[in-house]
Chains A and B, each alone.
Chain A
Amino acid sequence: MKLRSAALAVSSSIRALARRCLGSLKARLLLFCLALALLLSLAAVAAAALHLHHETSKYFDTVQLAFARQLAAWDPGEAGAAFHQKLPDLKKYRSHGHYDGDALSFAVFSRDGTLLLSDGRKGRRIVFDDKGSGFRDARLRDDDDKWRVLWIDSGDGARRIAVAQEIEFRSDLIFGILQSQLLILAAFALALCAGLFIVISRAMRPLGALKSELSSRRPGDERPLEARGLPSEILPLADELNSFFKKSGAMMRRERSFVSDAAHELRTPLAGLVLQSRIAADPSCAESDRRDALEAIVTGARRCSNLVRQLLTLSRLDDLDSRVRSSDAIHGMSRGSARFKDLVQRALLESADAIEKKHLKVESSFKDGGLVIDDGYPEMAFVLARNLVENACRYSLPGGFVRISSDPSSLMVENACRRYGKSDRARLGERFFRPAGQQEEGSGLGLSIARAAAAIHCMNFEIALEDGPGPDEATFTASARLRS
């Protein structure tokens, strides 16, 4: 059990190390190059081994043939069978090559198998064979090693000559040559790795600089990444990152501005609430003032709550809009059919007090049943209708008109209002903007909310202000039209 757990621990450590190593592009490249170099080297060595085997075999066979021919030309005469015992000792030449009989041995036999001449120990052990000429693999007497033996007859046919070479001697030679080749290749592979390491490290340096720049970057930093020196493979990534920084910076600026504006908008009613609550609790203030302060607190709280509601609606719409644009899933928002004729009627009911108070003349027309969105967000469609109607009723001149018209592709709300200066006209519909001289209290978000609600229903939203018949009269028009 202990062994098994130890083995598991070791294997998981190796896996972790491998994961860590292979996580690095540099390590991957190096490992890949090293493995490739090794594979190629091995293949080269294998091919060289085959070729070497073939060539050395041919060479040694040639040597054996040449030697056999020389022996065939020899006439033993009277030297007799004891000639071989007089061979010299070659040990002193061991540093120059093989001195024993493994390299090449021979024996000369008479036709009846009598050994006439041999090289000594090994040659004497060649087993006589009187069948034909040629190379054959055989074993010597009292020897387990395989030998390659060449048998030929002398020119007069009186002698049989055998020249033998141990097969292992040939293999050792091939192995020796290959070993030296492998050593050279290993040295070459090491040098290659070192070179690759340097080249890859240099190539990766811009990536390291990029990483440091990215890690030290603060959120919202829109400065583009330094593209100078980046390899062409990384440049598109840097370009994409720069584009992302720009977009996220703009988004953060918008959000900051929204939060800042929202905070400022909330500060005014909050300041009012603080003041009025202090008055309500201050015994030095007159009783009637304290009662008025309590009423003002209720009004202020309602104003705050209305502003917060508008801010939340706008924030939800902004989120919805970005999801619709990026085709993300939208959860928690029911989808369905939105019939603007019904929605406008509902919005008019909500604005009934303002309509009655200002004696507004309300006209509505719905051509072919008016605008119907089959697959929309009914809740947000109502927000669109309510904000347009509420805006028209709130800013309409007393006794003025509110005209609502709709066809299957659009909704338009017009109202009579006072004239605005050129600079105010240009800013109408901006978030939190309230034109100078605006007496009606509003959050300055109504049109922005309507615009956002139209956008999530794929509608274009437009506002227009045209001079009216009176010297200080104008007609304000807000319209939402389905994109074709």
Chain B
Amino acid sequence: MRILLCEDDSLIGSGIKTWLKPRGFETDWVKDGAQAYAALPCAPYDAVILDLGLPSLDGLEVLRRWRRDGRTEPVLILTARDELSERVRGLNTGADDYLVKPFEPEELEARLRALSRRSSGRPSPVIRCGGVILDQGSRMVQSGGQAVPMTAREFRLCEILMSGAGRTIPKNLIEEKMGDLDEDASPNSIEVLIHRLRRKLGQGFIKTVRGIGYTVPKDQGA
């Protein structure tokens, strides 16, 4: 999952980014309201974490502008203010969830996954495509009833492909979804990852659509 994190506090920002990284999240971190507003259209984010007390542009104003521009990405508000009126105001402005500081990182992770699932119309964290089962909660992949060990990036790619089963996922979209601002998400590295996944899940599991991208055929999917 690719997340846009809008948080001005370095202790929290770096903490969320570091915590989510080994759990299959690619996080782009911005520390300013204006930057946050500009960053959302730049990549296909699965969810946004938005702090309300952002410098230069208030978090709620950023959210209001996103919704006005027609952005539909799920937004989780992260704030120290826990009054009912604040929560209601945040949700009425267009937020999808609300988390009050301090929070347990597992809860943040679970809420982000739930937001992403809901926005893509999948209520269950388990995705089945033929004999392959991917559990977003436990981050486990099984093939033919056997657990398949995967690195974080392999799991992420598998998750992107299986989430769009039956559709062709363009290469550049994969790059963007995989891409962290600090990580290498070049076409070559994606091909290397596809090669590894085919070895682990079977050569016929992922099909190449020449010149466009990759697909997990629906007849093999759920």
Contacts and interface: CB of A to CB of B under 8 A. Distances in A.
Interface of A: 264-265, 267-276, 278-279, 282, 284-286, 289, 292-293, 296, 299-300, 303, 436-439
Contacts of A265: 80
Nearest to A266: B80
Given A285-B18, A437-B32, A278 B105 contact: yes
8 contacts: A268-B12, A269-B9, A273-B102, A274-B102, A274-B104, A275-B19, A296-B14, A436-B58
B134 to A, nearest CB: 18
Nearest to B81: A264
A273 B102 CA distance: 9
A293 B18 contact: yes
Contact of A267 (B10, B18, B22, B80): B80
B163 to A, nearest CB: 23
A275 B12 contact: yes
Contact of A268 (B32, B57, B101, B104): B101
A427 to B, nearest CB: 13
B11 interface: yes
A156 B54 CA distance: 138
A438 B102 CA distance: 22
Contacts of A278: 15, 19, 104-105
A300 B102 CA distance: 13
Contacts of A439: 55
B85 interface: no
Nearest to B103: A271
Given A268-B80, A284-B22, A275 B15 contact: yes
Nearest to A284: B22
Interface string B84-121: 00000000000000001111110000000000000000
Interface in B10-59: 10-12, 14-16, 18-19, 21-23, 32-33, 54-58
Interface in B59-96: 80-81
Given A279-B18, A296-B15, 6 more contacts: A271-B11, A272-B11, A278-B19, A284-B22, A286-B22, A292-B14
B80 A282 contact: no
A272 B103 contact: no
A303 B11 contact: yes
Nearest to B32: A437
Residue of B32, B33, B55, B58 most packed against chain A (CB within 10 A): B55
A275 B9 CA distance: 12
A282 B19 contact: yes
B55 A276 contact: no
Given A275-B15, A282-B19, A296-B15, A436 B9 contact: no
A284 B24 CA distance: 11
B111 to A, nearest CB: 14
Given A285-B22, A437-B32, A269 B55 contact: no
A442 to B, nearest CB: 13
Given A265-B80, A292-B14, A437-B32, A271 B102 contact: yes
A354 to B, nearest CB: 18
A79 B54 CA distance: 140
Given A292-B18, A293-B18, A276 B102 contact: no
Contacts of B56: 436-437
B81 A276 contact: no
Contacts of B101: 267-268, 270-271
A387 B99 CA distance: 34
